[in-house]
A and B are shown apart, each in its own frame.
Chain A
Amino acid sequence: MLNILAIGRDMAILQVVERLINGHEGWKATIVSTEEEAVAAFGEAKFSIVFVCAGISMDEEEGIRRRLQQLDSEVVVTRHFGGGSGLLENEILSILNSKL
């Protein structure tokens, strides 16, 4: 199972991201809206990818990356663009390709 965490401020968009990820066999999404929730989620599961979504600034993203990679140095923390529609699957496949 590929566990993916999405963090953002727009819960309606995050729910679409969650639905799209979970619609793919072998992928499972967890959605959170704060850094603290993301840290808590890391205590519950091992995530391969963290998508930083709308509402999170570049500075916040850097802080989230630093903190989560201290918890798991292998996790990929990257920006998701587009709100789920069109690019999400491509972004995941690109990350998986780069890890091969």
Chain B
Amino acid sequence: MSTTVLHKAVTRGHADLGWLSSHQSFSFAGYYNPERIQFGVLRVLNDDVVAGGKGFGSHPHDNMEIISIPLEGSLVHEDNMGHRQVVSAGEIQVMSTGSGVFHSEYNNSPEAPAKFLQIWLFPNRLNVTPRYDQVKLDPAKEENALEQLISPVKGGEGTWLYQDAWFYKGRFDEGRAVDYGRKRKENGVYFFVVKGSFMVSGERLESRDGLGITDLDTIGLSSLEEGSEILIMDVPMQNKIQ
């Protein structure tokens, strides 16, 4: 018997700071909803728009796996370890914040807004040495298929992080269908529609809707519109810190 949680886009939290518009699938900062704390180890899913020339000043993070997926434009990350990296649409960046890091994150354009997904997972190891990794995605691998973005495997396809989690992204023509196979029985699968609409396990999802499913090994999804894009996050439902 599977369990599902449906998070319609319009029910998300929203923060408007002028330079930042953030829609939050889970409780974050000033948005607190006890029914929307996390899906397993998936704790943050923020859908952010940062105005040109603006961004997040220096601030700390620790013991979180933070994934940035730019959808439009690019962001500049700088940290207290001397890293400076630009991450652009078509790329993905993972930061294992471990024992602690201070970083800033700004829109790389002085004028055009940057749109990105900011995703936080609880780690399965504490206090690791902070690290960054960034990879370029292959659009061809996402055409009517699921491209692996993240796994726990160092050297695997995409990038890796300190958690038994897998992320996939795909872009589908109208009517195309695919079955997604859950990676581990201890995991649940959270589907987030980036663009367009999908039918996932019998539930119609529109742009920015989220659907979490547990206890199903194989989940069918089909695109309802040309060019629909979906992000899949396959994550442990209980965190086992090693």
Range for the number of chain A residues in contact with chain B: 20 to 34
Tell which of A12, A53, A55 touches B102, judged by Cβ atoms closer than 8 Å: A12
Grouping DSSP codes into helix (H, G, I), strand (E, B) and loop, the A interface class, with mixed when no group exceeds half, is loop
Instruction: List, in ascending order, chain B residues with CB within 8 A of A87's CB.
Output: 28, 43-44
Instruction: List, in ascending order, chain B residues with CB within 8 A of A10's CB.
Output: 60, 62, 99-100
Range for the number of chain B residues in contact with chain A: 20 to 34
Instruction: List, in ascending order, chain B residues with CB within 8 A of A94's CB.
Output: 34, 37
Taking a contact as CB atoms under 8 Å apart, the answer to whether A83 and B62 are in contact is yes
Given contacts A90-B27, A90-B32, A94-B34, contact A83 B61 (CB under 8 A): yes
Closest Cβ neighbor of B98 among chain A residues = A54
Tell which of A83, A86, A97 touches B28, judged by Cβ atoms closer than 8 Å: A86
Closest Cβ neighbor of A16 among chain B residues = B60
Instruction: List, in ascending order, chain B residues with CB within 8 A of A74's CB.
Output: none
Instruction: List, in ascending order, chain A residues with CB within 8 A of B98's CB.
Output: 54
The 4 closest A-B pairs by CB, nearest first: A54-B62, A83-B62, A83-B60, A10-B100
Which residues does B use to contact A, with CB under 8 Å? Answer: 27-30, 32, 34, 37, 43-44, 59-64, 97-102, 120, 122, 126-127, 241
